[in-house]
């Protein structure tokens, strides 16, 4: 280890509501676990201060930083370039300093994909995804880029759903269709993977997705992006019908794993990061 007076490399999180962000403990645990002389600092930045914060991070030689909404979109014109999926998604949650350049990446969808690939290969699969917001865009682009056969977006608001389906079809060249969500949705026969990418269930273990539960079949994989509580009602219902399930905590850990890889070049231990995250969340 370098001597303590040797300044650490810095990364951070720029968020509007910074208090109590459990990902700080998760990323710092990775640095400790691997003996990396790095620090991850949470900074509360109001929207009007974002440009100054990015200039400050450049001036102080930050290795990069994460961003939460609304910074994920507003940061784009302040950067020197975007990774392929960040450009398609239209949002950046992870900035990486490469040489003198600040490059915007999106690790949300990549984190989801890494979790999914641990239990199922999305290539050639039919996917039904609820939601068309930021998380949904990130997830759909990544599973599409690795070769999903078709993505059906089920969303309450038609314009938002249409915008995502148009991006998937015309920019990412994927087979995608839109279902405007009205009442209990029945999954079509042939569905392989079901994803809740809405915020339904966040901090509410009993919140119900409008889904015809009889259309869930045991061969399906059911995933939720909601990470708190990790066992959402959807995942409990799906497990009771014999489906394999995937919680949103894995996605959150994996986006952190990918961020640490981007910043430091070290491939961190996800188990150490998940333990720290669960402890910080009191799970």
Which residues sit at the interface with ligand NDP, rule CB under 6 A? 108, 111, 131-136, 155-157, 160, 198-200, 202, 225-227, 248, 251-252, 255
42 or 199: CB nearest ligand NDP = 199
Question: Which of 206, 199, 207 minimizes the C-alpha distance to 227?
Answer: 199
8 or 22: CB nearest ligand NDP = 22
Give 143's contacts (C-beta < 8 A, 6+ positions apart).
Answer: 109, 112, 113, 116, 122, 127, 151, 193
What is the C-alpha separation between 150 and 148, in angstroms, rounded? 6
Smallest separation (angstroms) from ligand NDP to the CB of 220: 20
Please give, one letter per residue, the 3-state secondary structure of 60-71. Answer: CCCCEEEECCCH
What is the C-alpha separation between 269 and 257, in angstroms, rounded? 8
What is the C-alpha separation between 189 and 215, in angstroms, rounded? 8
38 or 227: CB nearest ligand NDP = 227
What is the C-alpha separation between 108 and 277, in angstroms, rounded? 16
Smallest separation (angstroms) from ligand NDP to the CB of 85: 14
Check if 173 is active-site: no
- The CA radius of gyration of the chain, in Å to the nearest whole number, is 19
Question: What DSSP state is assigned to residue 9?
Answer: E
What is the C-alpha separation between 35 and 141, in angstroms, rounded? 34
What is the C-alpha separation between 113 and 133, in angstroms, rounded? 17
Instruction: Give the sign of the dihedral formed by CA 145, CA 150, CA 152, CA 158.
Output: positive
Smallest separation (angstroms) from ligand NDP to the CB of 214: 20
**Contact assessment for residue 95 and residue 55, using Cβ atoms and an 8 Å cutoff:** no
CB environment 207-243: b (16+ within 10 A), e (fewer) = eebebeeebbeeebbbbbbbbbbbbbbbbebbeeeeb
Smallest separation (angstroms) from ligand NDP to the CB of 186: 16
11 or 226: CB nearest ligand NDP = 226
Catalytic residue among 72, 110, 114, 125, which? Answer: 72
Smallest separation (angstroms) from ligand NDP to the CB of 269: 18
Q: Which residue is nearest to ligand NDP (CB)?
A: 133
160 or 217: CB nearest ligand NDP = 160
Smallest separation (angstroms) from ligand NDP to the CB of 11: 17
52 or 166: CB nearest ligand NDP = 166
Catalytic residues: 72
């Amino acid at each position: 280890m370098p001597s303590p007076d040797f300044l650490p490399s810095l990364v951070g999180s720029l968020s509007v509501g910074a208090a109590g962000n459990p990902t700080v403990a998760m990323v710092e645990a990775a640095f400790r676990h691997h003996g990396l002389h790095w620090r991850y600092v949470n900074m509360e930045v109001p929207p009007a201060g974002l440009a100054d914060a990015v200039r400050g991070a450049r001036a102080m030689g930050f290795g990069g930083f994460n961003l939460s909404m609304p910074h994920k979109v507003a940061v784009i014109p302040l950067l020197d370039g975007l990774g392929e999926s960040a450009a398609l998604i239209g949002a950046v949650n992870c900035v990486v300093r490469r040489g003198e350049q600040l490059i915007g990446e999106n690790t949300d969808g990549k984190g989801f994909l890494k979790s999914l690939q641990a239990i199922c290969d999305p290539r050639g699969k039919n996917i039904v995804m609820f939601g068309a917001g930021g998380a949904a865009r990130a997830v759909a682009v990544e599973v599409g880029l690795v070769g999903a056969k078709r993505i059906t977006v089920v969303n309450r608001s038609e314009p938002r759903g249409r915008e995502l389906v148009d991006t998937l079809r015309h920019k990412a060249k994927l087979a995608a269709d839109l279902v405007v969500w009205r009442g209990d949705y029945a999954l079509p026969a042939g569905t392989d993977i079901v994803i809740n990418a809405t915020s339904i269930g966040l901090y509410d273990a009993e919140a119900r997705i409008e889904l015809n539960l009889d259309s869930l079949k045991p061969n399906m994989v059911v995933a939720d992006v909601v990470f708190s509580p990790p066992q959402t009602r959807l995942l409990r219902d799906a497990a009771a019908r014999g489906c394999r399930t995937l919680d949103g905590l894995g996605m959150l850990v994996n986006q952190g794993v990918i961020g640490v890889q981007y910043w430091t070049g070290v491939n961190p231990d996800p188990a150490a990061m998940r333990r720290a995250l669960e402890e910080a969340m009191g799970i």
